[in-house]
């Protein structure tokens, strides 16, 4: 069941698998055009395989969450990591988050891990962006060319798919956003870090993985075979296996 939590001016839709009882909690942050429901079966598979509670939420303006703004400023991911995410975790009494982020959600997870507000136990990213490269611009431009069909598909998951799409596309193509770059923050990440990316990601080059592992010596970078940008669609079993192994290697999963 989807519930709502008031964060600043927004009603944020949240879904919990399991009981939030003080144990490490996997917090899933969706992509730039994603939502709770677009994770498909992966959250349930993660909950079953790990035995840990899972929290999913629709960011402001996504899914069933309200939107306090119809546009993004260039610092939108920093604000999510520094303000919205910590507030949501406090309200739900989640003190031991394990962040699991896809695309923009992965970038937000990396920013959050570099700052003192969240202090995650571990972070896993899929297709995170650490700066604006030509590949992501090309990917967004290709998406804009298919806007109508994408928005039609999004209508099953979002209250206002037109605004959700346009807000995402406009900020990525905004010349002001070209300076977005979080590489200087990465060396502050101390928690275990797994960086995944499809080997044929249409929104990124391999530098999005190598750039992280260069700055974070303990980070593990892995390319997912035969996989595009949406790994939980293309290779869900591989993602699940890598995640469970990562948790086991870092003793973050309950003993069975």
CB atoms near residue 190 (< 10 Å): 12
For residue 256, pLDDT over 80 is answered with no
CB atoms near residue 222 (< 10 Å): 16
Q: Note the pLDDT of residue 135.
A: 97
Using DSSP bridges, classify how beta strands 193-198 and 220-224 pair: parallel, antiparallel or unpaired.
parallel
* Torsion sign (Cα): 223, 227, 232, 236: negative
Per-residue pLDDT of 40-80, as tens digits, reads: 999 999 999 999 999 999 999 999 999 988 899 999 999 99
* Structure-derived torsion over alpha carbons of residues 229, 235, 237, 239, reported in degrees to the nearest 10: -30
> Could you state, in order of their start, the residue ranges of all structural domains in the chain?
3-248
Q: Decide if 112 contacts 85 (C-beta within 8 A).
A: yes
Q: In whole angstroms, what is the distance from residue 215 CA to residue 76 CA?
A: 23
CB atoms near residue 91 (< 10 Å): 13
For residue 142, pLDDT over 60 is answered with yes
Q: Decide if 109 contacts 128 (C-beta within 8 A).
A: yes
| pLDDT category of residue 253 using cuts at 50, 70 and 90 | confident
Say yes or no: domain 3-248 is CATH 3.40.630.40: no
Per-residue pLDDT of 19-39, as tens digits, reads: 999 999 999 999 999 999 999
For residue 1, pLDDT over 80 is answered with no
Angle at 108 between CA 77 and CA 124, to 5 degrees: 170
- Assessment of whether the complete model's pTM goes beyond 0.85: yes
Per-residue pLDDT of 214-242, as tens digits, reads: 999 999 999 999 999 999 999 999 999 99
């Amino acid at each position: 069941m989807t519930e709502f939590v008031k964060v600043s001016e927004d009603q944020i839709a949240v879904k919990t698998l399991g009981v939030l009882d003080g144990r490490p909690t996997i917090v899933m942050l969706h992509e730039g055009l994603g939502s709770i429901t677009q994770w498909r079966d992966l959250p349930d598979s993660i909950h079953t395989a790990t035995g840990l509670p899972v929290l999913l939420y629709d960011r402001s303006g996504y899914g069933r969450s309200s939107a306090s703004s119809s546009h993004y400023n260039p610092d939108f991911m920093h604000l999510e990591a520094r303000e919205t995410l910590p507030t949501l975790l406090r309200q739900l009494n989640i003190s031991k988050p394990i962040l699991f982020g896809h695309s923009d959600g992965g970038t937000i997870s990396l920013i959050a891990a570099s700052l003192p507000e969240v202090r995650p136990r571990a972070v896993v990213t899929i297709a995170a962006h650490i700066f604006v490269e030509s590949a992501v611009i090309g990917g967004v431009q290709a998406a804009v060319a298919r806007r109508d069909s994408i928005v039609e598909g999004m209508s099953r998951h979002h209250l206002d798919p037109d605004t959700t799409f346009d807000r995402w596309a406009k900020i990525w193509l905004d010349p002001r956003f070209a300076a977005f770059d979080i590489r200087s923050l990465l060396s502050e990440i101390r928690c275990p870090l797994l960086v995944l990316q499809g080997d044929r990601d249409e929104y990124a080059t391999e530098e999005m993985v190598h750039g992280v592992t260069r700055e974070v010596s303990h980070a593990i970078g892995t390319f997912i075979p035969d996989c595009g940008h949406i790994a939980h669609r293309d290779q869900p079993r591989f993602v699940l296996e890598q995640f469970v192994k990562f948790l086991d290697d870092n003793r973050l999963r309950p003993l069975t």
